[in-house]
A and B are shown apart, each in its own frame.
Chain A
Amino acid sequence: MGIRAQPWLGTIVSIRAGDAGDKKSDAKVHAALDAAFAAISKVHALMSFHDPESELSQLNRCAHLAPVAVSEWTYQVIQHGIAIADASDGLFDFTVASDLVASGMLPLPYDSADIPKNNSRRPSFRDVRLRPQRRIRFAKPLWIDLGGIAKGFAVDLAVAALREHGVEAGSVNAGGDIRLFGPRPETIWVRKPEDSHSLMPVIELHEAAIATSASYFCQRPSADGPASAIVNPVCGRPSGFDMSVSVLAPDCMTADALTKVVTLSEDNEHPALKHFGASALLLRKHAQALLQ
């Protein structure tokens, strides 16, 4: 069993190849881990909002002027993001980036960036158009931030890389977004919303993913009151306080994106969950949990 952790995607990503009880660790295991981290690193490079050289930054600079061709991975994430936005009637919407910058949750992507200005209605995911040959076009100036979905996607790719290298059991944990594979289920714990140092077991996970979203570490004051990484796309206001949301889904990209839908709707039975074969757990501070 080999387990290592590296800083990526704004958090710590820890990857385990092999079963927890398996002591043997060899060159094959470390080669698999290297490949898994390489996949995470590639997602980071393609989709970083803060890196002016990333594919995402290219889109944010130019896609409202002309279609921009992107790599397979970036196209896949944007395509799936649109599907989730559609199924959630826009509750998940990766075009909230300019609100996040305005509230201070995200810095300007790079020094020369100007927040996109629109005289008409706020942009939405419907302004992001998929074109053939992996091209993306924006119908108006807008910014995409894939922070609410790319982490889950990176986890899925890391698992795929481990499997490609012959690893039969393992897990990836990227800042609390987890995917587990192999024959043995494992208990997953989350923190109580009112006390991040107290843990509670929530599920026996098996060959699936679970993403958890809560504001206990993220709350940051801004001029308009507390800020949060989760912003309601309809009104641009921050949301997600006083609760912890966990979503179980077959893949981590889906689980990650759906946490935003459940948080904003405060509905642990939102129809988008069923649409993607997912379910949710919503924990409120100091109150009884709502269960699916």
Chain B
Amino acid sequence: MKHFPSFNQWLPLSGIVIAGVALPTPVLAAEYFTIATVQKALFPDAQEFVKRSVSLTPEQRRFIEAASPTRTTLPDQNIWEARKSGTLIGYVVIDEVYGKHDFITYATALTPDGAVKQIEIMDYRETYGYEVRNEKWRQQFVGKKFGAPIKVDVDMQNIGGATLSCVHVTEGVRRILAIYHTALKN
């Protein structure tokens, strides 16, 4: 049986920073869901998820961007209808947001009349600020986000200290609701 040293005691701190010496800089990231697993988690009763294609007029785009002006790309190509016995039971919208320090993919479940039912973070990764503005840097995660394991050096669950604000996710959800009102509502 493994013997644990005394727990709940502050560890002796030395000049060695584990992350800085042993590894270049740790990848601080976590992945919770893929597209398929998040759809099931948001609508366990759904029998199928049908991609909904949405094409926005310039006027619709302006309306949506007014709801949340800080972003330039919209999640209008990542919308699925959740259906049971052919009936619409809600929508799943997958969006990615990034701020100065973070890069988050999340899924929003809407009821058929456009209320937010649930939000699940699919993955997040901390950045050093400058990378995230680089399109090529973002591209390397496109395949990895959905399914392939992200290499993690430290379990994010065990990192103390203020990390991410969810302000970008909140803005993203406002944008999604604006998309619902202009393009999905019947």
Chain A residues in the interface with B (C-beta under 8 A):
3-8, 10-12, 14, 16, 20, 30, 171, 173, 175-178, 185-192, 195-206, 208, 210-214, 216-218, 244, 246, 248, 279, 281, 283, 288-289, 291-292
Instruction: State the Cβ distance, B15 to closest chain A Cβ, in Å.
Output: 9
Task: Point out the residue from A7, A186, A196, A214 that lies within 8 Å of B158, measured CB to CB.
Answer: A186
Q: Which of B118, B121, B162 has the most CB of A within 10 A?
A: B162
Chain B residues lying within 8 Å of A291, measured Cβ to Cβ, are: 10, 13
Contact present for A7 and B18 (CB under 8 Å): no
Tell me whether A10 and B166 are in contact (CB under 8 A): yes
Q: Is the CB of A11 within 8 A of B163?
A: yes
Give chain A residues whose Cβ lies under 8 Å from the Cβ of B66: none
Tell me whether A189 and B158 are in contact (CB under 8 A).
yes
Q: Which of A5, A173, A190 is within 8 Å of B121, CB to CB?
A: A5
Q: Given that A197-B26, A200-B17, A202-B10 are known contacts, is A7 also in contact with B119, CB under 8 Å in the complex?
A: yes
Q: Give the B interface residue count (CB, 8 A).
A: 46
* B8 and A205 within 8 A (CB): yes
Asked whether A212 and B160 contact (CB < 8 A) given A199-B17, A199-B26, A279-B10, the answer is yes
| A63 to B8 CA separation, bound complex (whole angstroms) | 40
Closest chain A residue, CB of each to CB of B173 = A7
Q: Is the CB of B41 within 8 A of A30?
A: yes
Contact B18 A11 (CB under 8 A): no
Query: Which A residues are CB-close (under 8 A) to B25?
Result: 197-198
Interface 1/0s, chain B 1-37, versus A by CB < 8 A? 0001111111101000111100001101010110000
* Residues from chain A with Cβ under 8 Å of B26 in the complex: 197-199
Question: Given A197-B126, A217-B101, are A190 and B159 also a contact pair (CB < 8 Å)?
Answer: yes
Nearest-neighbor residue (CB-CB) of A214 within chain B: B161
From A191, which residue of chain B is reached at the shortest CB distance? B161
Q: What is the interface of chain A mostly: helix, strand, loop, or mixed?
A: strand
CB distance from B95 to the nearest CB of A (A): 12
Docked-complex contact B163 and A217, CB < 8 angstroms: yes
B170 — nearest CB in chain A belongs to which residue? Answer: A7
In the complex, the answer to whether A204 meets B11 with C-beta atoms within 8 Å is yes
Distance of A292 Cα from B12 Cα, bound (Å): 11
Given known A12-B124, A291-B10, contact A199–B164 (CB-CB < 8 A):
no
Q: Are A203 and B119 in contact (CB under 8 A)?
A: no
Please measure, in the bound complex, the distance between the C-alpha atom of A7 and the C-alpha atom of B25, giving whole angstroms: 26
> Within the assembled complex, what's the spacing in Å between the Cα atoms of A113 and B9?
45
Q: Complex: how many Å from CA A256 to CA B71?
A: 33
Tell me how far the C-beta of A45 lies from the nearest C-beta in chain B, rounded to whole angstroms.
13
Bound: A288/B12 CA distance, A: 11
With both beta carbons as reference points, the residue of chain B lying nearest to A175 in the complex is identified as: B162
How far, in angstroms, from A292 to B8 measured CA to CA in the complex?
12
Q: How far is the CA of A3 from the CA of B11 in the complex (A)?
A: 27
Indicate if the CB atoms of B10 and A175 lie closer than 8 Å: no
